[in-house]
């Protein structure tokens, strides 16, 4: 049947062979994820529920009997891409009987009333607000129950998860006037510290040495504390750093309003916290920031950047910018360009404003599309300029790279680096940068 006795040198390899054999008999699932890291974390979570019911993950949709499309709706384009993928799955669904097609996430939440009409071949819709109930829904869909023990054992049996995500809060209490996220993910709620630390340990057991804490305003974290006061984000960073096996800590997305001195001091003081921060600014104009309801000013943001670079001289700073927000004048757009130059971002994302139905900004008049396009190009060019300037300082410097895939890995500063020579996934290699013209740096081990 399966193994030739000479191969069975030890019990471990026998078990591996048996699992390999069984994988051919087991039902498989495939997940296609759109959107941000929150969605990636949710996909992983839903995958664990399917594994607990005996399914195994596959990279090939054709092999799958359950297929999940986890959608995003932050901009209209993101939603269109997800739904055109869903449309293309009709033949997948009808080709073999018994296949289950599930659509989940933010665009599913936003359009759940009309989704069944548009895509009648979909078996199950799970909106972003209902992700935490996915276990029960999967039970009904597959008519398979899973015990707590099954869930405990549902950790990935293959592959090396070098970097693990842990969601620490869901939803968002902000009302940024362009943003659909609070509508599709609901009001904020924070996970208790013990649950978070448990998930960090799970990720470490699966092979992760880098942990990324996730939330829409991740640094606003607080929960009932045992310290006689609320536990805050700085406390959480300290506790995560104490978990055995955690070499690196990152977090996404912090909000400038909660980037307190205490959080900055903790970032600088706790060795595991990486010197890299993605801090969305959105605009460099105080009037636009106010209309966006971002609750900070240009001066506050620039002050934060200075403070953080002083506390962590090697820190990289990246950002999100929206161009073409309703009412944005040319002068206001130039203020965004000057903020990018002043702050010297290492990299970032420049988004063309996309009106989202039901948000306050969608009621306001948009700049013409050609103007948004023009501003987009100009902003990208300025960001590329500051990024190239920052990278020019790197050749000759020494970094620790966590190898993720083949010869590619990331430094603590979150640069993507290609390391020459033989390296092993999951190892941390000390390297010297040899070339930094492009976003992916080249390096040799030292």
Residues lying near ligand SAH in the complex (CB under 6 A) are found at 74-75, 178-179, 181, 216, 253, 255, 280, 282, 320, 322, 351, 353-354, 356
In which order are the strands placed within the sheet that holds 276-278?
276-278, 316-323, 347-352
In the complex with ligand SAH, the residue whose CB is nearer, 167 or 253, is 253
**Residue 183 C-beta: closest distance to ligand F3S, Å:** 9
**Residue 313 C-beta: closest distance to ligand SAH, Å:** 25
In the complex with ligand SAH, the residue whose CB is nearer, 220 or 411, is 220
Pick the stretch among 43-51, 62-70, 175-183, 228-236 that binds ligand SF4 (CB under 6 A): 175-183
User: Which of ligand SF4, ligand F3S, ligand SAH, none interacts with 356 (beta carbon under 5 to 8 A by kind)?
Assistant: ligand SAH
In the complex with ligand F3S, the residue whose CB is nearer, 185 or 250, is 185
**Residue 176 C-beta: closest distance to ligand SF4, Å:** 3
The DSSP bridge partners found for residue 32 are 69
Pick the stretch among 41-49, 131-139, 172-180, 234-242 that binds ligand SF4 (CB under 6 A): 172-180
- Please tell me the distance from the alpha carbon of residue 224 to that of residue 253, in angstroms, as a whole number: 22
For residue 429, what is the DSSP state? E
Which residues are CB-contacts of 393 (< 8 A; sequence separation ≥ 6)? none
Interface residue list for ligand F3S (CB under 6 A): 35-36, 38-39, 72-74, 105-106, 181, 184-185
User: Which of ligand SAH, ligand F3S, ligand SF4, none interacts with 182 (beta carbon under 5 to 8 A by kind)?
Assistant: ligand SF4
SS3 at position 339: helix
Q: How many CB atoms lie within 10 A of CB 19?
A: 13
H or E element in which residue 152 lies = helix 148-153
User: Which of ligand F3S, ligand SF4, ligand SAH, none interacts with 75 (beta carbon under 5 to 8 A by kind)?
Assistant: ligand SAH
Site string for ligand SF4, 210-229 (x = CB under 6 A): ------xx------------
In the complex with ligand SAH, the residue whose CB is nearer, 223 or 283, is 283
User: Which of ligand SF4, ligand F3S, ligand SAH, none interacts with 353 (beta carbon under 5 to 8 A by kind)?
Assistant: ligand SAH
HSE (side-chain half, CA atoms, 13 Å) at 350: 22
Q: Give, in degrees to the nearest 5, the angle at Cα 427 between 391 and 210.
A: 75
End-to-end alpha-carbon separation of the chain, Å?
48
Token digits for 363? 């009621």
- Please tell me the distance from the alpha carbon of residue 331 to that of residue 323, in angstroms, as a whole number: 12
User: Which of ligand F3S, ligand SF4, ligand SAH, none interacts with 351 (beta carbon under 5 to 8 A by kind)?
Assistant: ligand SAH
Q: How many CB atoms lie within 10 A of CB 306?
A: 12
User: Which of ligand F3S, ligand SAH, ligand SF4, none interacts with 35 (beta carbon under 5 to 8 A by kind)?
Assistant: ligand F3S
b/e string for 289-303 if b means 16 or more Cβ within 10 A? Answer: bebbebebebebbbe
**Residues 54, 156, 182, 395: which binds ligand SF4 (CB under 6 A)?**
182
Helices (H), 186-296: 193-205, 233-242, 261-269, 286-292
User: Is 168 a binder of ligand SF4 (CB under 6 A)?
Assistant: no
Sign of CA dihedral 277, 283, 286, 290: negative
Q: Would you tell me which residues interact with ligand SF4 (CB under 6 A)?
A: 172, 174, 176, 179, 181-182, 216-217, 255
């Amino acid at each position: 049947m399966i193994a030739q006795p000479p191969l069975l040198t030890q019990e471990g390899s026998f078990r591996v062979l048996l699992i390999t054999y069984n994988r051919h008999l087991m039902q498989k699932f495939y997940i296609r994820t759109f959107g941000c890291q929150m969605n990636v974390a949710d996909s992983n979570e839903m995958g664990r529920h399917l594994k607990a019911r005996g399914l195994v993950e596959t990279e090939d949709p054709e092999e799958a009997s359950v297929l999940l499309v986890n959608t995003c709706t932050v901009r209209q384009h993101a939603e269109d891409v997800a739904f055109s993928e869903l449309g293309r799955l009709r033949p997948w669904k009808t080709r073999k009987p018994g296949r289950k097609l599930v659509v989940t996430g933010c665009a599913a939440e936003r359009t759940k009333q009309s989704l069944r009409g548009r895509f009648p071949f979909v078996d199950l819709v799970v909106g972003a607000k209902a992700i935490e109930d996915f276990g029960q829904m999967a039970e009904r869909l597959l008519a398979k129950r899973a015990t707590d023990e099954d869930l405990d054992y549902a950790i990935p049996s293959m592959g090396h998860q070098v970097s693990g995500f842990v969601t620490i809060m869901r939803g968002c209490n902000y009302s940024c006037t362009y943003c659909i996220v609070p509508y599709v993910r609901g009001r904020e709620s924070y996970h208790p510290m013990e649950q978070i630390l448990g998930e960090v340990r799970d990720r470490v057991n699966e092979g992760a040495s880098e942990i990324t804490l996730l939330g829409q305003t991740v640094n606003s974290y607080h929960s009932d504390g045992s310290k006689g006061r609320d536990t805050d984000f700085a406390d959480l960073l300290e506790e995560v750093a104490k978990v055995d096996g955690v070499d690196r800590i990152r977090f996404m997305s912090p909000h400038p309003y909660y980037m307190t001195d205490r959080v900055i001091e903790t970032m600088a003081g706790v060795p595991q916290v990486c010197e890299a921060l993605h801090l969305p600014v959105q605009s460099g104009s105080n009037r636009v920031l106010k209309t966006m309801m971002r609750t900070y000013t240009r001066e506050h943001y620039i002050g934060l950047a200075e403070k953080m670079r002083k506390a962590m001289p090697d820190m990289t700073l990246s950002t999100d910018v929206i161009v073409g927000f309703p009412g944005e004048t040319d002068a206001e757009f130039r203020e965004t360009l000057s903020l990018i130059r002043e702050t010297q971002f290492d990299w970032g994302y420049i988004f063309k404003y996309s009106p989202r139905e039901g948000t306050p900004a969608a009621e306001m008049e948009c700049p013409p599309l050609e103007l948004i396009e023009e501003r987009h190009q100009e902003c990208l060019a300025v960001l590329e300029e500051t990024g190239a300037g920052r990278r020019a300082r790197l050749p000759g410097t020494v970094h620790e790279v966590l190898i993720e895939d083949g010869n590619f890995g990331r430094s603590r500063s979150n640069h993507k680096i290609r390391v020459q020579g033989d390296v092993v996934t999951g190892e941390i290699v000390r390297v010297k940068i040899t070339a930094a013209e492009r976003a992916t740096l080249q390096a040799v081990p030292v």
